[in-house]
């Protein structure tokens, strides 16, 4: 198997505050990995280091063998969704997706299909400024799906969604990205287990790596 993501002796500091401490991790192509831990454990920071939004203070980050912040072509292969949607709020849903579709050479038929998948087709001509938090999250997920990325970095993927919306998105990811590499941050083990097999307990440093079912026990979650 190919190590698609490699982290070696990775540190990240913000001024004097340590966010990530001496993390060593290899993620293979096609692996589905959940990262769990308390608030402030560095989970989002770790995703942003893999994405290339942040540079390490010390150590190495390699994605497809390259430093992601130096390679646009690497970053284009990574899809990222967080609880912050980063959408154009004065544009409609379909205008937001059409803007990004040009970058990825996606046609109108595919845009419409993805809008249906995330349950926003009937709202396609409404401005994002009128959307609820859950609707914004679904549109952010739709934007990621346009790119058909090789790696999915999912930070609280279902935040703000109702139960039906959560199940719809998780089912779509499971059915359509089975061959992709997924790194998923979250607190809800029931949701994480629908996508991921492997788990990492992070508290600035890696405390445990194991099957997600074992990490669940270590983290103190009881079925």
| 170 pLDDT more than 60 | yes
Distance CA(155)–CA(80), nearest Å, equals 8
DSSP type of residue 92: B
Q: What is the pLDDT of residues 133-157, one digit of tens each?
A: 888 888 998 998 888 899 999 998 8
Q: Where are the domains of the chain?
A: 3-221
Residue 130: CB atoms within 10 Å: 11
The two tokens of residue 129 are: 């400024």
- How confident is the model over 154-176, as a mean pLDDT? 84
Q: What is the pLDDT of residues 189-211, one digit of tens each?
A: 999 999 999 999 999 999 999 99
pLDDT computed for residue 119 by the predictor: 87
The two tokens of residue 44 are: 């989002």
DSSP H or E segment with residue 17: strand 17-28
Q: 11 with 171: CB under 8 angstroms? A: no
| 158 pLDDT more than 50 | yes
| 16 pLDDT more than 50 | yes
| 221 pLDDT more than 70 | no
| 11 pLDDT more than 70 | yes
Residue 128 CB burial class (10 angstroms; 0-12, 13-18, ≥19): buried
pLDDT computed for residue 125 by the predictor: 98
Q: Does domain 3-221 have CATH number 3.40.50.300?
A: yes
- How confident is the model over 66-86, as a mean pLDDT? 87
């Amino acid at each position: 198997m190919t190590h698609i993501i490699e982290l070696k002796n990775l540190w990240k500091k913000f001024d004097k505050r340590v966010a990530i401490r001496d993390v060593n991790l290899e993620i293979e192509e096609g692996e589905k990995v959940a990262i769990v831990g308390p608030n402030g454990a560095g989970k989002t920071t770790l995703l942003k280091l893999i994405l290339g939004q942040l540079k390490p203070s010390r150590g190495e980050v390699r994605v497809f063998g390259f430093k992601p912040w130096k390679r646009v072509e690497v970053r284009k292969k990574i899809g990222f969704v967080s609880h912050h949607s980063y959408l154009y709020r004065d544009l409609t849903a379909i205008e937001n997706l059409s803007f990004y579709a040009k970058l990825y050479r996606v046609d109108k038929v595919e845009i419409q299909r993805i809008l249906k998948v995330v349950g926003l087709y009937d709202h396609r001509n409404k401005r994002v400024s009128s959307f609820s938090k859950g609707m914004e999250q679904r549109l952010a997920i739709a934007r990621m799906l346009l790119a058909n990325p090789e790696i999915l970095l999912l930070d609280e993927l279902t935040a703000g969604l109702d139960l039906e919306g959560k199940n719809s998105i998780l089912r779509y990811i499971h059915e359509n990205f089975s061959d992709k590499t997924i790194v998923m941050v979250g607190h809800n083990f029931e949701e994480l287990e629908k996508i991921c097999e492997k788990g990492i307990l992070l508290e600035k440093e890696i405390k445990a790596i194991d099957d997600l079912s074992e990490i669940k026990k270590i983290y103190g979650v009881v079925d």
